[in-house]
Amino acid sequence: MSGGGLRERKKARTRETILREAFRLFRERGYNATTVDQIAEAAEVSPATFFRYFPTKEDLVARDAFPPLIEALRAQPPGPPVAVLRGAFRTAFASLSAEEIAAGHAREVFATTVPELLAANLRRSPGVLREVTQILADRTGSDTDDPRIRNVVGAVFGVVAVVWLQWAQDPGMDGPAEVDMALAHLESGLSL
């Protein structure tokens, strides 16, 4: 990871500096109130350079589509779809270090706090939803647009989203554990 020439390392460091300073400023004065010029100045690069690293300001916060989930989903043993998805979430979280989860959470807090960022993230959600739906359909041998699969995916992600929202507001919460419990609840038919 630390390999590559000096150029690569400098680029990576610049990139991290920009990210770090940007999030610091976001935290201090909010996303909208922070201008690109301010971020550039704090990171000691020119505004032009900022845009060479991040095409848009939103890209600072756009995260990748949680690839571990897809991978974990493929590796799940057979079972009812909700259980399979629950297992996938569990496996995916287990594959991350505590630091990774914490970092992801910090970013997530922004993403759920600032609507513009939420939208930037959501922009790629349909793709994830489709992919998950596709995998589940393949596994169960049903059609891709089987409404039942669609409903399962919707319900699961709805539950996860709601836990996520709550986690963003209550940092003391154990997010992954809470997700698992919530999915167990869904699995058992949302009983009271």
Partner DNA sequence: TCCCTTATGAGAGTACACCCTCATATTTGT
Partner DNA sequence: ACAAATATGAGGGTGTACTCTCATAAGGGA
Site string for DNA, 48-87 (x = CB under 7 A): xx-xxx-xxxx-----------------------------
Provide the minimum distance between the beta carbon of 63 and a second copy in the complex, in angstroms, as a whole number: 15
Provide the minimum distance between the beta carbon of 36 and DNA in the complex, in angstroms, as a whole number: 4
**Tokens in use for 163?**
């836990």
User: Residue 148: which of DNA, a second copy, none does it interact with, CB under 5 to 8 A by kind?
Assistant: a second copy
**Tokens in use for 33?**
């109130």
Give the CA dihedral 50, 53, 57, 58, nearest 10 degrees.
Answer: -170
Task: Bin 66: left if φ > 0, else alpha if -120 < ψ < 50, else beta.
Answer: left
7, HSE (Cβ side, Cα atoms, 13 Å): 0
Stretch of 46-54, 84-92, 97-105, 167-175 lying at the interface with DNA (CB under 7 A)? 46-54
User: Residue 67: which of a second copy, DNA, none does it interact with, CB under 5 to 8 A by kind?
Assistant: none
Cα separation, 32 vs 9, whole angstroms: 30
- Report if residue 35 touches DNA, rule: CB under 7 A: yes
DSSP class per residue in 35-58 = -HHHHHHHHTS-HHHHHHH-SSGG
According to DSSP, residue 114 is labeled S
CA distances from 119 to 33, 68, 70, 115 (A): 18, 22, 21, 6
Provide the minimum distance between the beta carbon of 177 and a second copy in the complex, in angstroms, as a whole number: 12
User: Residue 159: which of DNA, a second copy, none does it interact with, CB under 5 to 8 A by kind?
Assistant: a second copy
Provide the minimum distance between the beta carbon of 16 and DNA in the complex, in angstroms, as a whole number: 12
The residue among 133, 138, 139, 165 whose CA lies nearest residue 151 is: 133
Query: Of these, 19, 42, 45, 109, which contacts DNA (CB under 7 A)?
Result: 45
- Report if residue 128 touches a second copy, rule: CB under 8 A: no
- Residues in contact with DNA by CB under 7 A are 5-8, 10-11, 14, 33-37, 44-49, 51-53, 55-58
Q: Rule CB under 8 A: which residues touch a second copy?
A: 80-82, 115-116, 118-120, 122-123, 126, 129, 140, 142, 145, 147-148, 150-163, 165-166, 178, 181-182, 185-186, 189-192
